[in-house]
């Protein structure tokens, strides 16, 4: 198979699976070099790769740069001279290559844990809003394409085992709209071990207070340990229906993702850079 085709197929598979990868492309080449402009290398977080930009030490250095790009979420451009190994160059071909390295941004993932009325509404709303949405529940009838169509994944498992089935990264936003304390007490410790950007737990203030106490008594968590948890979940909208509650939850998630305040737009200072598109 042609290298470029293999790279693009691997890139498409990574996007489908929600896997973070980096794409390295030679954008400049002078003199004698093993590969020329357009050659590509796809690098995964575990250092495995598809394609090539020249092999050997050069490729090892590019993989290192790609992992940095993944960690930082920023593009990088690297230039390598292939002249003198004794001087630290990764080869002796006699040329120079310039390589652009791009962390390929997967769509942010909304992981909805709990497929009840609110979970169903939130999954549908998230998909409408352009998110990659995965629904999980331990009840098969509440977690299937027949129940909520068009999602990106359906994971039937015990809530506390979700991280064993779904890669949870800094691009993952978790809304746990579960059935109550007996579920949350096992779920929250598992979620706190992940790099999720947002973890929200549904329920009243009283339910969250009881959950906090149980987590302290049974697991030794402190109040500081639980600062990552958004509970009760969502923005204060006086929402009542499942769809209204879903709007409240997604609004808070968007606020966290974009760095907003949640304040009414009319309260923004007139000189604020924040603007809305013309409708």
Give tens-digit pLDDT for 134-192.
999 999 999 999 999 999 999 999 999 999 999 888 889 999 999 888 889 999 999 99
| Same domain assignment for residues 209 and 119 | yes
Interval 5-20: pLDDT, tens: 999 999 989 887 778 8
**CATH number, domain containing residue 130:** 3.40.50.720
pLDDT of residue 254: 97
Query: Looking at the domain assignment, is residue 77 inside a domain?
Result: yes
CA distance 177 to 184: 9
Query: Looking at the domain assignment, is residue 53 inside a domain?
Result: yes
What's the structural domain count of the chain? 2
| Same domain assignment for residues 183 and 230 | yes
pTM above 0.75, yes or no: no
Query: Looking at the domain assignment, is residue 130 inside a domain?
Result: yes
CA distance 52 to 43: 10
Continuous segment of H or E residues that includes residue 83: none
| Same domain assignment for residues 139 and 248 | yes
Query: Looking at the domain assignment, is residue 226 inside a domain?
Result: yes
| Same domain assignment for residues 119 and 191 | yes
| Same domain assignment for residues 239 and 193 | yes
CA distance 80 to 68: 17
Query: Looking at the domain assignment, is residue 175 inside a domain?
Result: yes
Nearest Cα to 211, choosing from 244, 176, 238, 237? Answer: 176
Strand partners, 98: 28, 79
Strand partners, 24: 41, 101
Query: Looking at the domain assignment, is residue 153 inside a domain?
Result: yes
Token pair for residue 273?
């850079």
Q: Which residues contact 14 (CB under 8 A, 6 or more apart)?
A: 20, 21, 42, 44, 104, 106
Interval 187-229: pLDDT, tens: 999 999 998 999 999 999 999 999 999 999 999 999 899 999 9
| Same domain assignment for residues 118 and 253 | yes
CA distance 16 to 70: 18
| Same domain assignment for residues 91 and 129 | no
Query: Looking at the domain assignment, is residue 7 inside a domain?
Result: no
């Amino acid at each position: 198979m042609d290298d470029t085709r293999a790279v693009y197929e691997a890139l498409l598979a990574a996007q489908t699976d929600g896997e973070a990868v980096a794409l390295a492309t030679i954008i400049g080449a002078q003199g004698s070099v093993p590969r020329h402009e357009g050659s590509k290398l796809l690098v995964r977080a575990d250092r495995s790769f598809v394609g090539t930009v020249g092999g050997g030490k050069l490729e090892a250095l590019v993989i290192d740069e790609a992992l940095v790009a993944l960690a930082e979420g920023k593009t990088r451009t690297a230039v390598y001279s292939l002249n003198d190994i004794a001087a630290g160059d990764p080869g002796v071909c006699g040329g120079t290559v310039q390589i652009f390295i791009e962390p390929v941004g997967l769509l942010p993932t909304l992981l909805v844990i709990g497929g009840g009325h609110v979970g169903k509404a939130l999954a549908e709303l998230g998909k409408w809003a352009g998110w990659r949405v995965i629904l999980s529940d331990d009840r098969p009838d509440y977690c299937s394409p027949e129940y909520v169509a068009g999602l990106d994944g359906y994971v039937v498992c015990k809530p506390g085992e979700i991280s064993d089935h779904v890669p949870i990264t800094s691009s993952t936003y978790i809304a746990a709209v579960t059935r109550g304390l007996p579920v949350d007490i096992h779920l929250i410790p598992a979620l706190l071990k992940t790099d999720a950007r947002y973890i929200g737990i549904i329920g009243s203030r009283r339910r969250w207070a009881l959950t906090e106490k149980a987590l302290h008594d049974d697991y030794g968590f402190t109040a500081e340990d639980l600062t990552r948890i958004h509970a009760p979940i969502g923005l204060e909208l006086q929402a009542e229906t499942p769809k209204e509650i879903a709007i409240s939850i997604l609004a808070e998630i968007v606020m966290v993702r974009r760095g907003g305040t949640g304040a009414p737009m009319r309260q923004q200072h007139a000189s604020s850079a924040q603007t809305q598109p013309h409708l």
